[in-house]
């Protein structure tokens, strides 16, 4: 791209001058008036005549002429890059010292097409500048200053890299050696608003193209939109009603019906049509339920097949493991080589691991089947008890089966231990260590099985105790229900008698200032307390004493009760000034005399 490094490829019309060509190299040395020498110092052409200043038969080569490029092709790193003299009509450009470092440049602005050219001769004109730099490409504008510099704007960005190649060249106008006719060119990147604007426009155009490309790609991968739903009419309604009756076209028809209802097509005129369509849609509920039941049945059958197949595989694994164990016994084990014994032991371990995995999987399926419970809500407590009892019974049965299987495995391990003990005396010294390890492993397994068996037995006892508790609770519930029924019958008889007696009692309670038995108790306790304190006591003192007996008693309740009983309690003011205090006294004996 044009924004890349300084070394750019030139147009296909221009071709580079290879530095390995001795004729071109000699021509460049001849233009400088030097004896043609190779890179290693040997003379390239023996017939060079320094007096003539040029070689006979070889015309001077201008690298800016058609067919040659300004920028030479890349050369090996161990050879110095040599620039050549450039001849123009009005001036000559001499290259800088090849051993000097390349001239420094500023950071390239984005979309740069303008260069700064400094070090121009004082007598340089725009025509001469155009003559020099038009060989790099099409020049759009030249802005020359009075202080020996100018700005040149090219048509394309890659032309700027060609112009930078001329940085460091010494320029001489004609054959004059006057200072006003000589100078050293310095070419650098320049920042121009037009370049930045064109670059931003180009970036926006590329962004638009990218968005357009992405939009096309998204539209290509987007799923097709569903067909539009037709508007409601009597004809379309009859078509949808027929489709609703067909099982294959039901889904399409129900979507159309839903859209019509959401659009608000239902009114008094069309209500009957919509009701008939909804009724036909409701007729599919039974079909869907039957289909679901059929699929569930197929799934259960597949589960049963899988369980049967898995149990058959487990039986075969057990047979294979039994073969390995029988081959590991002393009668057959001594006849195998060490490599064969090793292979048999490895195969046995692998088969046992796979068998255990399949056995765990089968046990997990059985546990899932046992733990499946219905989601129906049970309201009757007696039914709840029955279901819990049945669940406990099933768990107890499962524990019994597991207990039996563990006992059988324990017997098998014991038999193996006894066989190993009998064959231990006959075993050779080489196999003593392996036998001891097997004995230890079997003992550990036996201990683990015994612990597991004890746990299972404890769980079994706990479950039996829970069953007994449930049965006792059931009997208690039954007795309670009978007692409640008897109490209901007795209370119904008493209600009639009690209703007649309640009327005068309620009248007396409503007229009395004491409304409950609790208040009667409070009056008695307060009377006793104030009788002990003949000079009276404050309400806070009384409540602090009552709260020791009942923490729920509040001051307001006590004060309201005492104000209601004016013949029993009396409030008096005692003290003077700041020490003024309200005290309650017991006046029950005085009130009895007055009444």
Give every CB contact of residue 112 below 8 A, 6+ residues apart in sequence.
157, 160, 189, 190, 191, 192, 195
Token output for 454: 């004890």
In a domain, 544, yes or no: yes
CA neighbor of 524 nearest in space, from 546, 491, 497: 546
pLDDT of residue 595: 59
Lowest mean per-residue pLDDT among 39-48, 120-129, 133-142, 412-421: 39-48
Is a pLDDT exceeding 70 seen at residue 8? Answer: no
43 and 107 in contact (C-beta within 8 Å)?
Answer: no
Give per-residue pLDDT as tens, 180-204. Answer: 889 999 999 999 999 999 999 999 9
% of residues, the chain, pLDDT over 90: 17
CA-to-CA distance for 96 and 76, rounded, in angstroms?
20
pLDDT of residue 190: 93
pLDDT of residue 295: 93
Is a pLDDT exceeding 60 seen at residue 386? Answer: yes
Give per-residue pLDDT as tens, 333-371. Answer: 888 888 888 888 899 888 888 888 888 888 888 788 777
Average pLDDT over residues 461-481: 88
Q: Residues 522, 570: one domain? A: yes
CATH for 569: 1.10.10.10
Count structural domains, the chain: 4
Average pLDDT over residues 76-100: 76
243 and 249 in contact (C-beta within 8 Å)?
Answer: yes
pLDDT of residue 415: 75
In a domain, 476, yes or no: no
In a domain, 356, yes or no: yes
pLDDT of residue 499: 54
In a domain, 563, yes or no: yes
451 and 443 in contact (C-beta within 8 Å)?
Answer: no
Give every CB contact of residue 396 below 8 A, 6+ residues apart in sequence.
460, 463, 464, 467
426 and 330 in contact (C-beta within 8 Å)?
Answer: yes
The last residue of one of the domains, among 325, 346, 368, is 368
183 and 173 in contact (C-beta within 8 Å)?
Answer: no
CA-to-CA distance for 396 and 461, rounded, in angstroms?
9
CA-to-CA distance for 394 and 401, rounded, in angstroms?
11
CA-to-CA distance for 126 and 90, rounded, in angstroms?
12
CA neighbor of 152 nearest in space, from 129, 170, 135: 129
pLDDT of residue 448: 86
pLDDT of residue 507: 47
pLDDT of residue 113: 93
Lowest mean per-residue pLDDT among 46-60, 269-283, 473-487, 492-506: 46-60
Structural domain that includes position 354: 308-368
Lowest mean per-residue pLDDT among 258-267, 325-334, 451-460: 325-334
Distance of CA 401 to the CA centre of its chain: 45
**SS3 annotation, 173-199:** ECCCCCHHHEEECEEEECCCHHHHHHH
Is a pLDDT exceeding 70 seen at residue 427? Answer: no
Give every CB contact of residue 394 below 8 A, 6+ residues apart in sequence.
370
Is a pLDDT exceeding 80 seen at residue 380? Answer: no
Q: Residues 110, 191: one domain? A: yes
Q: Residues 284, 323: one domain? A: no
Q: Residues 107, 157: one domain? A: yes
Strands 139-144 and 186-189: unpaired
Token output for 36: 């043609």
Give per-residue pLDDT as tens, 304-336. Answer: 888 888 888 888 888 888 888 888 887 888 888
Query: Predicted confidence band at 13 (pLDDT cuts at 50, 70, 90)?
Result: very low
In a domain, 415, yes or no: no
CATH for 159: 3.30.70.330
Q: Residues 285, 358: one domain? A: no
The pTM (predicted TM-score) of the whole model is 0.31
In a domain, 79, yes or no: no
Q: Residues 194, 93: one domain? A: yes
Average pLDDT over residues 544-566: 85
- Name the average pLDDT for the chain: 78
Give every CB contact of residue 501 below 8 A, 6+ residues apart in sequence.
none
Give per-residue pLDDT as tens, 220-251. Answer: 888 877 778 888 899 999 999 998 888 888 88
CA-to-CA distance for 56 and 59, rounded, in angstroms?
8
Measured CA angle at 206 (ends 224, 115), to 5 deg: 175
3-state secondary structure of 442: helix
The last residue of one of the domains, among 368, 383, 413, is 368
Half-sphere exposure of 192 (CA within 13 A, CB side): 21
Q: Residues 267, 322: one domain? A: no
Give per-residue pLDDT as tens, 542-554. Answer: 898 888 888 888 8
Average pLDDT over residues 128-142: 91
Give every CB contact of residue 345 below 8 A, 6+ residues apart in sequence.
328
For residue 289, the tally of other CB atoms under 10 A from its CB is 10
* Residue burial 377-396, b: 16+ Cβ < 10 Å; e: rest: eeeeeeeeeeeeeeeeeebb
Q: Residues 138, 243: one domain? A: no
513 vs 117 pLDDT, higher one: 117
CA-to-CA distance for 561 and 522, rounded, in angstroms?
9
In a domain, 228, yes or no: no
Average pLDDT over residues 159-174: 91
Q: Residues 360, 290: one domain? A: no
CA-to-CA distance for 507 and 501, rounded, in angstroms?
11
CA neighbor of 315 nearest in space, from 359, 357, 253, 273: 359
Q: What is the largest CA-CA distance in the chain?
A: 166
140 and 155 in contact (C-beta within 8 Å)?
Answer: yes
Q: Residues 191, 97: one domain? A: yes
Q: Residues 92, 196: one domain? A: yes
Is a pLDDT exceeding 70 seen at residue 392? Answer: yes
pLDDT of residue 199: 94
Lowest mean per-residue pLDDT among 103-107, 246-250, 497-501: 497-501
Is a pLDDT exceeding 80 seen at residue 36? Answer: no
pLDDT of residue 207: 95
Give every CB contact of residue 85 below 8 A, 6+ residues apart in sequence.
28, 31, 32, 92, 93, 94, 95
**CA gyration radius, the chain:** 57
CA-to-CA distance for 281 and 60, rounded, in angstroms?
99
In a domain, 505, yes or no: no
The last residue of one of the domains, among 148, 181, 201, is 201
Q: Residues 115, 194: one domain? A: yes
CA neighbor of 232 nearest in space, from 271, 174, 179, 286: 271
CA-to-CA distance for 351 and 356, rounded, in angstroms?
9
547 and 555 in contact (C-beta within 8 Å)?
Answer: no
Helix extents (H) in 58-192: 126-133, 158-164
């Amino acid at each position: 791209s044009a924004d890349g490094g300084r070394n750019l490829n030139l147009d296909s019309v221009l071709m580079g001058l290879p530095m390995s060509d001795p004729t071109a190299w000699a021509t460049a040395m001849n233009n400088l008036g030097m004896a043609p020498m190779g890179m290693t110092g040997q003379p390239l052409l023996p017939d060079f005549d320094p007096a003539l200043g040029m070689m006979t038969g070889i015309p001077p080569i201008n690298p800016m002429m058609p067919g040659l490029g300004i920028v030479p092709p890349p050369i090996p790193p161990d050879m110095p890059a040599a620039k050549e003299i450039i001849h123009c009509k009005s001036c000559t450009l001499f290259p800088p010292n090849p051993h000097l470092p390349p001239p420094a440049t500023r950071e390239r602005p984005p979309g740069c097409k303008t260069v700064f050219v400094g070090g121009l001769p004082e007598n340089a004109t725009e025509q001469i500048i155009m003559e020099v730099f038009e060989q790099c490409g099409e020049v759009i504008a030249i802005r020359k200053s009075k202080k020996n510099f100018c700005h040149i704007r090219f048509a394309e960005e890659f032309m700027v890299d060609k112009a930078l190649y001329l940085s460091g060249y010494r320029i001489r106008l004609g054959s004059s050696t006057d200072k006003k006719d000589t100078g050293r060119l310095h070419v650098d990147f320049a920042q121009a608003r037009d370049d930045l604007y064109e670059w931003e426009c180009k970036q926006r155009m590329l962004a638009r193209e990218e968005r357009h490309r992405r939009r096309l790609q998204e539209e290509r991968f987007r799923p097709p939109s569903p067909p539009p739903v037709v508007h409601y009419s009597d004809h379309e309604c009859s078509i949808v009603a027929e489709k609703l009756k067909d099982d294959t076209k039901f889904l399409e028809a129900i979507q159309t019906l839903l859209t019509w209802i959401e659009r608000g097509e239902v009114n008094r005129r069309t209500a009957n049509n919509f009701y008939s369509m909804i009724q036909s849609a409701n007729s599919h509920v039974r079909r869907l339920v039957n289909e679901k039941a059929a699929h569930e049945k197929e799934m259960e059958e597949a589960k049963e097949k899988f369980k049967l197949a898995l149990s058959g595989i487990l039986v075969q694994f057990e047979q294979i493991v039994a073969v390995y164990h029988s081959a590991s016994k002393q009668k057959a084990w001594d006849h195998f080589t060490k490599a064969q014994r090793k292979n048999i032991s490895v195969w046995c371990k692998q088969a046992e691991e796979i068998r255990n995995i399949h056995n765990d999987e089968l046990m997990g399926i059985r546990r899932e089947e046992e733990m499946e419970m219905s989601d129906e809500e049970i309201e009757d407590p007696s039914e709840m008890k029955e279901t819990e009892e049945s669940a406990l019974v099933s768990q107890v049965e499962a524990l019994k089966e597991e207990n039996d299987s563990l006992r059988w495995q324990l017997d098998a391990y014991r038999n193996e231990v006894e066989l190993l003990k009998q064959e231990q005396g006959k075993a050779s010294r080489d196999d003593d260590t392996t036998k001891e390890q097997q004995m230890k492993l079997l003992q550990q397994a036996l201990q683990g099985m015994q612990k597991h068996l004890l746990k299972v037995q404890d769980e079994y006892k706990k479950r039996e105790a829970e069953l007994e508790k449930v049965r006792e609770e059931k009997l208690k519930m039954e007795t309670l229900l009978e007692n409640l029924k008897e109490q209901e019958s007795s209370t119904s008889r008493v209600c009639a008698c009690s209703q007649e007696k309640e009327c005068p009692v309620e009248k007396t309670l409503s007229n009395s200032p004491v409304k409950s038995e609790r208040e009667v108790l409070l009056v008695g306790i307060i009377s006793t307390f104030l009788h002990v304190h003949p000079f009276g006591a404050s309400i806070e003192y009384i409540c602090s004493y009552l709260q020791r007996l009942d923490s729920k008693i509040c001051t307001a309740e006590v004060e309201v009760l005492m104000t209601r009983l004016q013949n029993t309690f009396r409030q008096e003011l005692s003290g003077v000034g700041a020490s003024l205090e309200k005290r309650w006294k017991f006046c029950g004996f005085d009130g009895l005399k007055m009444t």
